[in-house]
């Protein structure tokens, strides 16, 4: 029954043993345990800081990627617009050049027509002059032979001739 009613000696020696154990634990075990707990706590804090830093870097990379994508889209749109503008310019230049060539060809054709017309008029004038000389020769010949006949011939020729 000593355990139910402990005596003074038992309490005294239990307290002394407890204090010695506490001193030994404090001297040899408490610092390493607290150091390990502290190291563990620092490791957890560092891991959380690294995770937060990594999350922040991921957000920055995502924002940078989005910005780069936007810039690439804008650049692509600008390139497409430049290509469309260049295509339209090439088409309008080709149309203008074709119109200029057509205009030049029309002018050349008109000039050729005009020169052919002048040549035909010159040939016609030459032919008319030849006919006039033939008529004049016949008139002069007839005039020398018969004056009444000459007048009839001239009147007949004037009646046949139409003026243009």
- Residue 5 is classified by DSSP as S
Domain that holds residue 35: 8-160
pLDDT of residue 103: 93
Residue 3 located in a structural domain: no
Whether 125 contacts 118, CB under 8 Å: no
Whether 150 contacts 142, CB under 8 Å: yes
pLDDT digits (tens, 9 = 90+) for 66-122: 999 999 999 999 999 999 999 999 999 999 999 999 999 999 999 999 999 999 998
Max intra-chain CA distance, the chain = 196
Of 12-16, 22-26, 59-63, 103-107, where does mean pLDDT reach its minimum? 22-26
Predicted confidence band of residue 153 (pLDDT cuts 50, 70, 90): confident
Q: Which residue has the higher pLDDT, 73 or 11?
A: 73
Instruction: Report the distance separating Cα 2 and Cα 25, nearest Å.
Output: 29
- Residue 2 is classified by DSSP as T
pLDDT of residue 127: 85
Residue 1 located in a structural domain: no
Residue 152 in tokens: 């009839």
Residue 76 located in a structural domain: yes
Residue 2 located in a structural domain: no
Percent of the chain with pLDDT over 90: 56
Number of structural domains, the chain?
A: 1
């Amino acid at each position: 029954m000593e355990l139910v009613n402990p005596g003074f000696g038992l309490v005294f020696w239990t307290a002394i043993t407890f204090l010695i154990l506490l001193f030994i634990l404090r001297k040899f075990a408490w610092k390493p345990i607290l150091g390990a707990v502290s190291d563990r706590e620092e490791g957890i804090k560092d891991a959380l800081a690294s995770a937060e830093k990594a999350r922040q870097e991921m957000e920055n990379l995502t924002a940078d990627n989005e910005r780069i994508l936007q810039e690439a889209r804008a650049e692509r749109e600008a390139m497409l617009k430049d290509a469309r503008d260049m295509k339209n310019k090439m088409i309008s230049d080709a149309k203008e050049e074709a119109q200029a060539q057509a205009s030049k060809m029309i002018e050349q054709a008109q000039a050729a027509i005009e020169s052919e017309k002048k040549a035909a008029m010159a040939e016609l004038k030459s032919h008319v002059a030849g006919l006039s000389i033939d008529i004049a020769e016949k008139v002069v010949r007839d005039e020398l032979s018969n004056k009444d006949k000459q007048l009839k011939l001239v009147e007949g020729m004037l009646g046949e001739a139409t003026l243009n």
